[in-house]
Structure 1
Protein backbone atom coordinates (compact mmCIF):
# COMPACT_ATOMS: atom_id res chain seq x y z
CA UNK A 1 0.00 0.00 0.00
CA UNK A 2 1.12 3.53 -0.66
CA UNK A 3 1.58 5.65 2.46
CA UNK A 4 -1.41 7.91 1.79
CA UNK A 5 -3.96 5.11 1.31
CA UNK A 6 -5.36 2.79 3.98
CA UNK A 7 -7.20 -0.43 3.23
CA UNK A 8 -10.05 -1.72 5.37
CA UNK A 9 -13.66 -2.86 5.37
CA UNK A 10 -17.22 -1.64 5.53
CA UNK A 11 -19.22 -3.40 8.23
CA UNK A 12 -21.74 -4.16 5.47
CA UNK A 13 -19.29 -6.79 4.22
CA UNK A 14 -20.20 -8.78 7.35
CA UNK A 15 -23.95 -8.17 7.09
CA UNK A 16 -24.77 -11.84 6.53
CA UNK A 17 -23.27 -12.73 9.91
CA UNK A 18 -24.20 -9.61 11.84
CA UNK A 19 -27.86 -9.79 10.81
CA UNK A 20 -28.23 -13.38 12.04
CA UNK A 21 -26.30 -12.90 15.25
CA UNK A 22 -23.53 -15.28 14.13
CA UNK A 23 -21.11 -12.45 14.86
CA UNK A 24 -21.35 -9.41 17.09
CA UNK A 25 -19.82 -6.09 16.09
CA UNK A 26 -17.01 -6.46 18.66
CA UNK A 27 -16.22 -9.84 17.09
CA UNK A 28 -16.12 -8.21 13.65
CA UNK A 29 -13.75 -5.56 15.01
CA UNK A 30 -11.50 -8.30 16.42
CA UNK A 31 -11.58 -10.13 13.08
CA UNK A 32 -10.54 -6.95 11.27
CA UNK A 33 -7.75 -6.39 13.80
CA UNK A 34 -6.38 -9.87 13.04
CA UNK A 35 -6.73 -9.44 9.26
CA UNK A 36 -4.89 -7.35 6.69
CA UNK A 37 -7.45 -4.58 7.23
CA UNK A 38 -6.45 -1.26 8.74
CA UNK A 39 -9.84 0.30 9.54
CA UNK A 40 -13.60 -0.28 9.65
CA UNK A 41 -16.51 1.77 8.32
CA UNK A 42 -19.82 1.41 10.17
CA UNK A 43 -22.80 1.07 7.80
CA UNK A 44 -26.03 1.66 9.70
CA UNK A 45 -28.85 -0.83 9.18
CA UNK A 46 -31.55 1.56 10.39
CA UNK A 47 -32.68 3.27 13.56
CA UNK A 48 -33.18 0.12 15.61
CA UNK A 49 -32.09 -0.18 19.26
CA UNK A 50 -31.38 -3.88 18.68
CA UNK A 51 -29.16 -3.34 15.65
CA UNK A 52 -25.52 -4.39 16.05
CA UNK A 53 -24.44 -1.20 14.26
CA UNK A 54 -24.67 1.91 16.47
CA UNK A 55 -27.45 4.26 15.45
CA UNK A 56 -29.46 7.08 17.03
CA UNK A 57 -31.76 4.55 18.75
CA UNK A 58 -28.85 2.67 20.35
CA UNK A 59 -28.14 2.68 24.07
CA UNK A 60 -25.42 5.33 24.57
CA UNK A 61 -23.53 2.82 26.71
CA UNK A 62 -23.37 0.46 23.72
CA UNK A 63 -22.09 3.27 21.49
CA UNK A 64 -19.34 3.99 24.00
CA UNK A 65 -18.49 0.28 24.25
CA UNK A 66 -18.02 0.01 20.48
CA UNK A 67 -15.80 3.12 20.40
CA UNK A 68 -13.69 1.78 23.27
CA UNK A 69 -13.49 -1.75 21.85
CA UNK A 70 -12.31 -0.46 18.46
CA UNK A 71 -9.70 1.74 20.11
CA UNK A 72 -8.42 -1.13 22.25
CA UNK A 73 -8.24 -3.41 19.19
CA UNK A 74 -6.35 -0.80 17.18
CA UNK A 75 -9.06 -0.57 14.51
CA UNK A 76 -9.89 3.05 13.59
CA UNK A 77 -13.55 3.70 12.86
CA UNK A 78 -13.17 5.78 9.72
CA UNK A 79 -16.71 6.50 8.55
CA UNK A 80 -20.38 6.23 9.46
CA UNK A 81 -22.85 5.51 6.63
CA UNK A 82 -26.62 5.78 6.83
CA UNK A 83 -29.67 5.86 4.64
CA UNK A 84 -31.75 9.02 4.33
CA UNK A 85 -34.21 10.72 1.99
CA UNK A 86 -33.68 14.47 1.72
CA UNK A 87 -35.65 14.88 -1.49
CA UNK A 88 -38.86 16.22 0.11
CA UNK A 89 -37.45 18.92 2.36
CA UNK A 90 -38.85 17.14 5.43
CA UNK A 91 -37.31 18.84 8.51
CA UNK A 92 -37.58 15.58 10.45
CA UNK A 93 -35.23 13.85 8.01
CA UNK A 94 -32.71 16.67 8.31
CA UNK A 95 -32.90 16.53 12.10
CA UNK A 96 -32.45 12.74 12.01
CA UNK A 97 -29.27 13.02 9.92
CA UNK A 98 -27.90 15.75 12.19
CA UNK A 99 -28.45 13.44 15.17
CA UNK A 100 -26.24 10.95 13.34
CA UNK A 101 -23.60 13.67 13.11
CA UNK A 102 -23.68 13.76 16.91
CA UNK A 103 -23.46 9.95 16.95
CA UNK A 104 -20.39 10.04 14.69
CA UNK A 105 -18.76 12.53 17.02
CA UNK A 106 -19.47 10.25 20.00
CA UNK A 107 -17.90 7.34 18.12
CA UNK A 108 -14.82 9.41 17.31
CA UNK A 109 -15.62 9.28 13.59
CA UNK A 110 -14.82 12.28 11.36
CA UNK A 111 -16.44 11.14 8.07
CA UNK A 112 -20.11 10.46 7.46
CA UNK A 113 -22.09 9.40 4.42
CA UNK A 114 -25.81 10.10 4.24
CA UNK A 115 -27.97 9.14 1.29
CA UNK A 116 -30.09 11.86 -0.25
CA UNK A 117 -32.87 9.72 -1.76
CA UNK A 118 -34.34 6.25 -1.23
CA UNK A 119 -33.14 3.25 -3.19
CA UNK A 120 -36.18 2.61 -5.38
CA UNK A 121 -35.59 3.34 -9.05
CA UNK A 122 -37.81 5.59 -11.16
CA UNK A 123 -39.10 4.16 -14.42
CA UNK A 124 -38.38 6.05 -17.61
CA UNK A 125 -36.77 9.48 -17.86
CA UNK A 126 -36.39 10.76 -14.29
CA UNK A 127 -34.57 13.96 -15.29
CA UNK A 128 -37.60 16.22 -14.65
CA UNK A 129 -38.04 14.68 -11.20
CA UNK A 130 -34.34 15.10 -10.44
CA UNK A 131 -34.53 18.78 -11.33
CA UNK A 132 -37.64 19.13 -9.17
CA UNK A 133 -36.12 17.61 -6.02
CA UNK A 134 -32.57 18.93 -6.46
CA UNK A 135 -33.21 22.16 -4.50
CA UNK A 136 -34.48 20.13 -1.52
CA UNK A 137 -31.44 17.82 -1.63
CA UNK A 138 -29.02 20.73 -1.87
CA UNK A 139 -30.65 22.78 0.91
CA UNK A 140 -30.78 19.83 3.31
CA UNK A 141 -27.24 18.64 2.52
CA UNK A 142 -25.94 22.18 3.01
CA UNK A 143 -27.63 22.52 6.40
CA UNK A 144 -26.25 19.15 7.52
CA UNK A 145 -22.74 19.90 6.25
CA UNK A 146 -22.67 23.26 8.02
CA UNK A 147 -23.78 21.60 11.26
CA UNK A 148 -21.20 18.82 10.81
CA UNK A 149 -18.44 21.39 10.30
CA UNK A 150 -18.99 22.60 13.86
CA UNK A 151 -18.18 19.03 14.97
CA UNK A 152 -15.13 18.63 12.72
CA UNK A 153 -16.95 16.09 10.52
CA UNK A 154 -16.95 15.80 6.73
CA UNK A 155 -20.23 14.66 5.19
CA UNK A 156 -20.85 13.06 1.81
CA UNK A 157 -23.32 11.42 -0.52
CA UNK A 158 -22.65 8.16 -2.33
CA UNK A 159 -23.30 7.14 -5.93
CA UNK A 160 -26.05 5.00 -4.50
CA UNK A 161 -29.69 4.18 -5.16
CA UNK A 162 -30.13 4.60 -8.96
CA UNK A 163 -31.56 8.14 -8.75
CA UNK A 164 -28.19 9.73 -7.88
CA UNK A 165 -25.94 6.85 -8.93
CA UNK A 166 -24.63 8.52 -12.08
CA UNK A 167 -21.32 10.37 -11.78
CA UNK A 168 -22.64 13.65 -13.15
CA UNK A 169 -25.57 13.81 -10.72
CA UNK A 170 -23.24 13.28 -7.78
CA UNK A 171 -20.99 16.09 -9.01
CA UNK A 172 -23.95 18.42 -9.55
CA UNK A 173 -25.01 17.99 -5.94
CA UNK A 174 -21.48 18.39 -4.57
CA UNK A 175 -20.96 21.59 -6.57
CA UNK A 176 -24.39 22.97 -5.67
CA UNK A 177 -23.85 22.41 -1.95
CA UNK A 178 -20.42 24.02 -2.25
CA UNK A 179 -19.31 23.38 1.32
CA UNK A 180 -15.65 22.44 1.92
CA UNK A 181 -16.65 19.53 4.15
CA UNK A 182 -19.25 18.05 1.75
CA UNK A 183 -17.86 15.45 -0.62
CA UNK A 184 -18.68 12.01 -2.03
CA UNK A 185 -18.24 8.46 -0.85
CA UNK A 186 -17.07 6.99 -4.13
CA UNK A 187 -18.19 3.39 -4.72
CA UNK A 188 -16.21 2.06 -7.67
CA UNK A 189 -18.75 -0.67 -8.45
CA UNK A 190 -22.08 1.12 -8.10
CA UNK A 191 -21.71 2.95 -11.40
CA UNK A 192 -22.58 -0.26 -13.28
CA UNK A 193 -26.07 -0.06 -11.75
CA UNK A 194 -26.71 2.83 -14.13
CA UNK A 195 -24.61 1.26 -16.92
CA UNK A 196 -21.62 3.57 -16.61
CA UNK A 197 -18.01 2.48 -17.11
CA UNK A 198 -16.50 2.45 -13.60
CA UNK A 199 -13.00 3.41 -14.76
CA UNK A 200 -14.32 6.54 -16.49
CA UNK A 201 -16.76 7.53 -13.75
CA UNK A 202 -14.28 6.91 -10.94
CA UNK A 203 -11.78 9.19 -12.66
CA UNK A 204 -14.42 11.94 -12.99
CA UNK A 205 -15.42 11.84 -9.32
CA UNK A 206 -12.12 11.13 -7.55
CA UNK A 207 -11.39 14.86 -7.00
CA UNK A 208 -14.45 14.97 -4.72
CA UNK A 209 -13.91 11.68 -2.87
CA UNK A 210 -13.87 11.40 0.92
CA UNK A 211 -13.91 7.58 1.10
CA UNK A 212 -13.54 5.03 -1.71
CA UNK A 213 -15.53 1.78 -1.60
CA UNK A 214 -13.95 -1.19 -3.38
CA UNK A 215 -16.55 -3.54 -4.86
CA UNK A 216 -16.96 -6.08 -7.64
CA UNK A 217 -19.95 -7.38 -9.62
CA UNK A 218 -20.77 -10.24 -11.92
CA UNK A 219 -22.41 -8.77 -15.03
CA UNK A 220 -24.57 -10.68 -17.50
CA UNK A 221 -26.37 -9.40 -20.60
CA UNK A 222 -29.98 -8.25 -20.43
CA UNK A 223 -31.14 -11.26 -22.46
CA UNK A 224 -29.40 -13.76 -20.17
CA UNK A 225 -31.35 -15.84 -17.64
CA UNK A 226 -28.95 -16.25 -14.70
CA UNK A 227 -31.65 -17.32 -12.24
CA UNK A 228 -32.66 -16.01 -8.83
CA UNK A 229 -30.57 -13.63 -6.74
CA UNK A 230 -29.60 -11.16 -9.45
CA UNK A 231 -30.86 -7.62 -9.89
CA UNK A 232 -31.09 -5.40 -12.95
CA UNK A 233 -29.10 -2.34 -13.93
CA UNK A 234 -30.92 0.73 -15.19
CA UNK A 235 -30.45 -0.57 -18.72
CA UNK A 236 -31.49 -4.13 -17.90
CA UNK A 237 -28.20 -5.98 -17.37
CA UNK A 238 -28.13 -8.66 -14.67
CA UNK A 239 -25.87 -7.87 -11.68
CA UNK A 240 -24.76 -9.79 -8.60
CA UNK A 241 -22.16 -8.92 -5.97
CA UNK A 242 -18.83 -10.74 -6.26
CA UNK A 243 -15.71 -11.35 -4.22
CA UNK A 244 -13.33 -8.51 -5.08
CA UNK A 245 -11.27 -9.66 -8.06
CA UNK A 246 -13.62 -12.49 -9.05
CA UNK A 247 -16.20 -10.37 -10.89
CA UNK A 248 -16.31 -8.59 -14.21
CA UNK A 249 -15.19 -5.06 -13.32
CA UNK A 250 -11.86 -3.77 -14.64
CA UNK A 251 -10.51 -3.14 -11.16
CA UNK A 252 -6.93 -2.73 -12.36
CA UNK A 253 -7.99 0.27 -14.46
CA UNK A 254 -9.88 1.62 -11.45
CA UNK A 255 -6.83 1.18 -9.22
CA UNK A 256 -4.60 2.94 -11.75
CA UNK A 257 -7.02 5.87 -11.76
CA UNK A 258 -6.90 6.08 -7.96
CA UNK A 259 -3.10 5.80 -7.85
CA UNK A 260 -2.72 8.45 -10.57
CA UNK A 261 -5.00 10.87 -8.71
CA UNK A 262 -4.46 13.07 -5.67
CA UNK A 263 -6.77 10.90 -3.56
CA UNK A 264 -5.50 10.04 -0.11
CA UNK A 265 -7.66 8.34 2.46
CA UNK A 266 -9.56 5.17 3.29
CA UNK A 267 -10.25 2.39 0.81
CA UNK A 268 -13.09 0.28 2.26
CA UNK A 269 -13.88 -3.17 0.88
CA UNK A 270 -17.67 -3.57 0.60
CA UNK A 271 -18.72 -7.15 -0.16
CA UNK A 272 -22.36 -7.93 -0.90
CA UNK A 273 -22.24 -11.30 -2.64
CA UNK A 274 -23.44 -14.81 -1.81
CA UNK A 275 -20.15 -16.25 -0.62
CA UNK A 276 -19.18 -16.61 3.03
CA UNK A 277 -18.30 -13.06 4.11
CA UNK A 278 -15.16 -13.99 6.05
CA UNK A 279 -13.73 -15.92 3.12
CA UNK A 280 -14.79 -13.15 0.74
CA UNK A 281 -13.19 -10.46 2.89
CA UNK A 282 -9.98 -12.44 3.32
CA UNK A 283 -9.60 -13.07 -0.40
CA UNK A 284 -10.89 -9.67 -1.40
CA UNK A 285 -8.46 -7.71 0.69
CA UNK A 286 -5.57 -9.91 -0.48
CA UNK A 287 -6.53 -9.06 -4.06
CA UNK A 288 -6.83 -5.37 -3.20
CA UNK A 289 -3.25 -5.43 -1.90
CA UNK A 290 -2.08 -6.55 -5.33
CA UNK A 291 -3.84 -3.55 -6.89
CA UNK A 292 -2.24 -0.90 -4.71
CA UNK A 293 1.28 -2.20 -4.09
Structure 2
Protein backbone atom coordinates (compact mmCIF):
# COMPACT_ATOMS: atom_id res chain seq x y z
CA UNK A 1 0.00 0.00 0.00
CA UNK A 2 1.18 3.51 -0.82
CA UNK A 3 -0.37 6.26 1.28
CA UNK A 4 -0.66 9.74 -0.13
CA UNK A 5 -2.90 12.78 -0.37
CA UNK A 6 -5.25 14.29 -2.89
CA UNK A 7 -4.44 17.90 -3.79
CA UNK A 8 -8.17 18.48 -3.20
CA UNK A 9 -7.45 18.20 0.54
CA UNK A 10 -5.41 21.42 0.40
CA UNK A 11 -7.67 23.35 -1.96
CA UNK A 12 -8.69 25.66 0.90
CA UNK A 13 -5.10 26.97 1.13
CA UNK A 14 -4.69 27.20 -2.65
CA UNK A 15 -7.96 29.10 -2.98
CA UNK A 16 -6.83 31.56 -0.30
CA UNK A 17 -3.54 32.13 -2.13
CA UNK A 18 -1.55 30.62 0.73
CA UNK A 19 -0.16 27.73 -1.32
CA UNK A 20 0.64 27.12 -4.97
CA UNK A 21 0.26 23.72 -6.59
CA UNK A 22 4.02 23.05 -6.30
CA UNK A 23 3.75 24.05 -2.63
CA UNK A 24 1.00 21.48 -2.17
CA UNK A 25 3.06 18.71 -3.73
CA UNK A 26 6.02 19.69 -1.57
CA UNK A 27 3.84 19.71 1.54
CA UNK A 28 2.51 16.23 0.76
CA UNK A 29 6.08 14.95 0.59
CA UNK A 30 7.09 16.79 3.76
CA UNK A 31 4.43 15.10 5.88
CA UNK A 32 5.37 11.65 4.58
CA UNK A 33 3.10 11.13 1.59
CA UNK A 34 4.31 8.61 -0.96
CA UNK A 35 2.13 9.96 -3.74
CA UNK A 36 0.01 12.91 -4.78
CA UNK A 37 -3.32 12.67 -6.54
CA UNK A 38 -3.96 15.59 -8.88
CA UNK A 39 -7.42 17.18 -8.81
CA UNK A 40 -7.57 20.25 -11.12
CA UNK A 41 -9.59 22.63 -8.97
CA UNK A 42 -8.55 26.23 -9.56
CA UNK A 43 -6.39 25.35 -12.54
CA UNK A 44 -6.86 23.75 -15.97
CA UNK A 45 -4.06 21.60 -17.36
CA UNK A 46 -5.53 21.66 -20.88
CA UNK A 47 -5.41 25.47 -20.96
CA UNK A 48 -2.11 25.67 -19.06
CA UNK A 49 -0.08 22.68 -20.28
CA UNK A 50 3.11 24.20 -18.92
CA UNK A 51 1.82 23.25 -15.45
CA UNK A 52 2.12 19.58 -16.40
CA UNK A 53 5.92 19.79 -16.45
CA UNK A 54 5.85 21.84 -13.25
CA UNK A 55 3.84 19.13 -11.50
CA UNK A 56 6.03 16.31 -12.79
CA UNK A 57 9.26 18.09 -11.95
CA UNK A 58 8.11 18.98 -8.44
CA UNK A 59 6.97 15.42 -7.72
CA UNK A 60 10.29 14.06 -8.97
CA UNK A 61 12.25 16.60 -6.93
CA UNK A 62 10.27 15.64 -3.82
CA UNK A 63 10.64 11.91 -4.42
CA UNK A 64 6.93 11.10 -4.62
CA UNK A 65 4.75 9.51 -7.29
CA UNK A 66 1.79 10.96 -9.14
CA UNK A 67 -0.94 8.40 -8.61
CA UNK A 68 -4.19 9.56 -10.17
CA UNK A 69 -5.81 12.39 -12.13
CA UNK A 70 -9.42 13.11 -11.15
CA UNK A 71 -11.84 15.21 -13.19
CA UNK A 72 -15.56 15.89 -13.43
CA UNK A 73 -17.79 14.76 -16.30
CA UNK A 74 -21.47 14.25 -17.09
CA UNK A 75 -22.93 12.07 -19.84
CA UNK A 76 -26.52 11.98 -18.56
CA UNK A 77 -29.47 13.85 -20.04
CA UNK A 78 -27.53 15.20 -23.03
CA UNK A 79 -28.56 15.40 -26.66
CA UNK A 80 -26.42 13.52 -29.17
CA UNK A 81 -24.16 16.45 -30.04
CA UNK A 82 -23.54 17.44 -26.40
CA UNK A 83 -22.89 13.81 -25.51
CA UNK A 84 -20.22 13.47 -28.19
CA UNK A 85 -18.61 16.76 -27.16
CA UNK A 86 -18.38 15.56 -23.57
CA UNK A 87 -16.83 12.24 -24.58
CA UNK A 88 -14.23 14.05 -26.69
CA UNK A 89 -13.53 16.52 -23.88
CA UNK A 90 -12.81 13.68 -21.46
CA UNK A 91 -10.51 12.04 -24.04
CA UNK A 92 -8.50 15.26 -24.09
CA UNK A 93 -8.23 14.91 -20.32
CA UNK A 94 -6.88 11.39 -20.88
CA UNK A 95 -4.16 13.08 -22.94
CA UNK A 96 -3.39 15.23 -19.89
CA UNK A 97 -3.20 12.15 -17.65
CA UNK A 98 -0.80 10.56 -20.12
CA UNK A 99 1.36 13.71 -20.15
CA UNK A 100 1.42 13.67 -16.34
CA UNK A 101 2.63 10.08 -16.47
CA UNK A 102 -0.17 8.69 -14.30
CA UNK A 103 -1.71 5.30 -14.97
CA UNK A 104 -5.04 5.98 -13.25
CA UNK A 105 -7.69 8.55 -14.08
CA UNK A 106 -11.07 9.13 -12.48
CA UNK A 107 -13.86 10.83 -14.37
CA UNK A 108 -17.39 11.38 -13.13
CA UNK A 109 -20.17 10.06 -15.33
CA UNK A 110 -23.52 11.57 -14.42
CA UNK A 111 -25.45 14.29 -12.67
CA UNK A 112 -29.22 14.34 -12.39
CA UNK A 113 -31.91 15.87 -10.22
CA UNK A 114 -33.89 12.63 -10.51
CA UNK A 115 -32.12 9.94 -8.50
CA UNK A 116 -34.56 7.05 -8.95
CA UNK A 117 -33.37 3.59 -9.90
CA UNK A 118 -35.65 3.79 -12.93
CA UNK A 119 -33.84 6.87 -14.21
CA UNK A 120 -30.48 5.23 -13.51
CA UNK A 121 -31.43 2.13 -15.52
CA UNK A 122 -32.67 4.35 -18.35
CA UNK A 123 -29.34 6.22 -18.47
CA UNK A 124 -27.07 3.21 -17.84
CA UNK A 125 -26.55 2.09 -21.47
CA UNK A 126 -25.40 5.56 -22.59
CA UNK A 127 -23.23 6.02 -19.50
CA UNK A 128 -21.59 2.66 -20.15
CA UNK A 129 -21.09 3.48 -23.83
CA UNK A 130 -19.28 6.72 -22.97
CA UNK A 131 -17.09 5.08 -20.33
CA UNK A 132 -16.26 2.20 -22.68
CA UNK A 133 -15.17 4.55 -25.47
CA UNK A 134 -13.00 6.55 -23.07
CA UNK A 135 -11.52 3.41 -21.49
CA UNK A 136 -10.65 2.04 -24.93
CA UNK A 137 -8.91 5.31 -25.77
CA UNK A 138 -7.08 5.33 -22.42
CA UNK A 139 -5.92 1.74 -22.93
CA UNK A 140 -3.61 3.01 -25.66
CA UNK A 141 -1.69 4.90 -22.95
CA UNK A 142 -1.80 2.06 -20.43
CA UNK A 143 -4.25 4.07 -18.32
CA UNK A 144 -7.04 2.60 -16.19
CA UNK A 145 -10.08 4.87 -16.00
CA UNK A 146 -12.60 4.74 -13.19
CA UNK A 147 -15.88 6.01 -11.82
CA UNK A 148 -16.05 7.28 -8.26
CA UNK A 149 -19.06 6.73 -6.00
CA UNK A 150 -19.75 10.43 -6.25
CA UNK A 151 -22.48 12.91 -7.14
CA UNK A 152 -25.61 11.11 -5.81
CA UNK A 153 -26.68 9.53 -9.13
CA UNK A 154 -23.93 6.87 -9.25
CA UNK A 155 -23.11 6.76 -5.55
CA UNK A 156 -24.56 3.50 -4.22
CA UNK A 157 -22.26 0.48 -4.31
CA UNK A 158 -24.69 -1.51 -6.48
CA UNK A 159 -24.98 1.29 -9.07
CA UNK A 160 -21.20 1.50 -9.30
CA UNK A 161 -21.04 -2.27 -9.76
CA UNK A 162 -23.74 -2.13 -12.45
CA UNK A 163 -21.81 0.50 -14.41
CA UNK A 164 -18.42 -1.22 -14.13
CA UNK A 165 -19.97 -4.52 -15.23
CA UNK A 166 -21.83 -2.87 -18.12
CA UNK A 167 -18.66 -1.17 -19.39
CA UNK A 168 -16.92 -4.55 -19.29
CA UNK A 169 -13.37 -3.37 -19.83
CA UNK A 170 -10.38 -4.57 -17.77
CA UNK A 171 -9.11 -0.98 -17.54
CA UNK A 172 -12.38 0.48 -16.24
CA UNK A 173 -12.72 0.20 -12.46
CA UNK A 174 -13.88 2.31 -9.53
CA UNK A 175 -12.17 4.95 -7.45
CA UNK A 176 -13.59 3.78 -4.15
CA UNK A 177 -14.27 6.63 -1.72
CA UNK A 178 -14.99 5.07 1.65
CA UNK A 179 -16.88 8.13 2.90
CA UNK A 180 -18.98 9.01 -0.11
CA UNK A 181 -21.34 6.07 0.34
CA UNK A 182 -22.84 8.01 3.24
CA UNK A 183 -24.07 10.61 0.74
CA UNK A 184 -26.46 7.90 -0.43
CA UNK A 185 -27.16 6.81 3.17
CA UNK A 186 -25.33 3.53 2.62
CA UNK A 187 -23.28 1.99 5.43
CA UNK A 188 -19.65 2.56 4.41
CA UNK A 189 -18.35 -0.65 5.98
CA UNK A 190 -20.82 -2.75 3.98
CA UNK A 191 -20.41 -0.74 0.77
CA UNK A 192 -16.61 -0.93 0.89
CA UNK A 193 -16.82 -4.71 1.30
CA UNK A 194 -19.13 -4.83 -1.73
CA UNK A 195 -16.82 -2.85 -4.03
CA UNK A 196 -13.21 -3.20 -2.91
CA UNK A 197 -12.67 -5.96 -5.47
CA UNK A 198 -13.39 -3.41 -8.24
CA UNK A 199 -11.12 -0.65 -6.89
CA UNK A 200 -8.26 0.87 -8.88
CA UNK A 201 -7.84 3.60 -6.26
CA UNK A 202 -9.07 4.17 -2.70
CA UNK A 203 -9.97 7.50 -1.08
CA UNK A 204 -10.20 7.68 2.70
CA UNK A 205 -12.58 10.40 3.83
CA UNK A 206 -14.65 10.89 6.99
CA UNK A 207 -17.92 12.63 7.77
CA UNK A 208 -20.04 13.64 10.71
CA UNK A 209 -23.52 12.19 10.16
CA UNK A 210 -26.78 13.50 11.61
CA UNK A 211 -30.37 12.31 11.05
CA UNK A 212 -32.83 14.47 9.14
CA UNK A 213 -34.67 15.71 12.25
CA UNK A 214 -31.43 17.16 13.67
CA UNK A 215 -30.81 19.75 10.95
CA UNK A 216 -27.54 21.32 12.17
CA UNK A 217 -27.50 24.41 9.94
CA UNK A 218 -24.54 26.05 8.27
CA UNK A 219 -21.65 23.87 7.11
CA UNK A 220 -23.72 20.73 6.56
CA UNK A 221 -25.15 19.29 3.33
CA UNK A 222 -27.97 16.79 2.73
CA UNK A 223 -27.68 13.15 1.82
CA UNK A 224 -29.94 11.78 -0.90
CA UNK A 225 -32.26 10.58 1.88
CA UNK A 226 -32.43 13.96 3.63
CA UNK A 227 -29.96 13.31 6.43
CA UNK A 228 -26.97 15.60 7.06
CA UNK A 229 -23.20 15.40 6.54
CA UNK A 230 -20.22 17.58 7.34
CA UNK A 231 -16.64 16.81 6.36
CA UNK A 232 -14.44 15.59 9.20
CA UNK A 233 -10.77 14.92 9.84
CA UNK A 234 -10.25 11.25 9.04
CA UNK A 235 -10.69 9.36 12.31
CA UNK A 236 -12.68 12.15 13.99
CA UNK A 237 -16.01 11.52 12.25
CA UNK A 238 -18.75 8.93 12.47
CA UNK A 239 -17.41 6.40 9.95
CA UNK A 240 -15.81 3.29 11.44
CA UNK A 241 -12.49 3.91 9.71
CA UNK A 242 -10.63 1.02 11.42
CA UNK A 243 -13.29 -1.44 10.23
CA UNK A 244 -13.17 0.01 6.72
CA UNK A 245 -9.38 -0.21 6.59
CA UNK A 246 -9.47 -3.80 7.87
CA UNK A 247 -11.78 -4.65 4.98
CA UNK A 248 -9.48 -2.95 2.47
CA UNK A 249 -6.39 -4.67 3.83
CA UNK A 250 -8.05 -8.10 4.11
CA UNK A 251 -9.10 -7.87 0.46
CA UNK A 252 -5.47 -7.88 -0.60
CA UNK A 253 -5.69 -4.38 -2.03
CA UNK A 254 -2.14 -3.09 -2.19
CA UNK A 255 -2.41 0.02 -4.35
CA UNK A 256 -2.65 3.75 -3.76
CA UNK A 257 -4.70 5.17 -0.89
CA UNK A 258 -5.37 8.91 -0.85
CA UNK A 259 -6.45 10.98 2.12
CA UNK A 260 -9.26 13.41 1.25
CA UNK A 261 -10.02 16.17 3.72
CA UNK A 262 -12.97 18.52 3.27
CA UNK A 263 -13.71 19.60 6.81
CA UNK A 264 -14.06 23.06 8.36
CA UNK A 265 -10.71 22.88 10.16
CA UNK A 266 -7.54 24.43 8.73
CA UNK A 267 -6.73 22.18 5.79
CA UNK A 268 -3.01 21.55 6.43
CA UNK A 269 -3.67 20.48 10.00
CA UNK A 270 -6.77 18.49 9.11
CA UNK A 271 -5.00 16.68 6.29
CA UNK A 272 -1.94 15.77 8.37
CA UNK A 273 -3.98 14.50 11.30
CA UNK A 274 -5.99 12.27 8.98
CA UNK A 275 -2.86 11.07 7.19
CA UNK A 276 -1.11 10.20 10.45
CA UNK A 277 -4.22 8.41 11.73
CA UNK A 278 -4.57 6.17 8.67
CA UNK A 279 -0.84 5.42 8.64
CA UNK A 280 -0.99 4.35 12.29
CA UNK A 281 -4.17 2.27 12.03
CA UNK A 282 -2.93 0.46 8.90
CA UNK A 283 0.42 -0.36 10.52
CA UNK A 284 -1.28 -1.77 13.64
CA UNK A 285 -3.41 -4.25 11.71
Q: What secondary structure is seen at the aligned counterpart in 2 of 1:117?
A: coil
Q: CA deviation at 1:62?
A: 2.0
Residue among 71, 78, 86 paired with 2:67: 78
Alignment partner of 1:13 is 2:18: no
State the partner residue of 1:110.
103
- CA displacement at 1:229 relative to structure 2: 1.1
1:253 and 2:249 are equivalent in the alignment: no
Shift of 1:121: 4.2
Match of 2:118 in 1: 128
Name the TM-score, length of structure 1 as normaliser.
Answer: 0.92
| Aligned equivalents of 1:133, 1:225: Cα separation in 2 | 32
Q: Report SS of the residue matched to 2:224.
A: coil
Alpha-carbon shift at residue 112 of structure 1 (Å): 0.0
SS at match of 2:280: helix
Q: How many residues are paired up?
A: 279
Higher helix share goes to which structure? Answer: 2
Choose from 104, 108, 128 the match for 1:138. Answer: 128
Query: Is 1:121–1:162's contact at 8 Å kept on the other side of the alignment?
Result: no
2:225 aligns with 235
**Match in the other structure for 2:164:** 174
Q: 2:189 aligns with which of 199, 223, 230?
A: 199
62, 75, 85: which one pairs with 1:92? 85
CA–CA distance in structure 1, aligned partners of residues 148 and 16 of structure 2: 26
- The aligned counterpart of 1:185 is 175
Structure 2 portions without partners, runs of 5+: none
Q: Does residue 1:40 correspond to 2:29, yes or no?
A: no
Q: CA deviation at 1:193?
A: 0.6
Partner SS for 2:85:
helix
**Any runs of at least 4 consecutive aligned residues in structure 1 with deviations exceeding 2 A, and if so which?**
none
Give the CA deviation at 1:259. Answer: 1.1
Unaligned runs of at least 5 residues, structure 1:
46-50
Give the alignment's TM-score, normalised by structure 2.
0.95
In structure 2, what is the equivalent of residue 208 of structure 1?
198
Aligned partners of 1:44 and 1:137: how far apart in 2? 23
Find 1:160's aligned residue among 128, 140, 150: 150
Deviation of 1:262 (Å): 2.2
Deviations 1:97-142 (A, max 9, x none): 1101110111111100000013x543xx612211111111000000
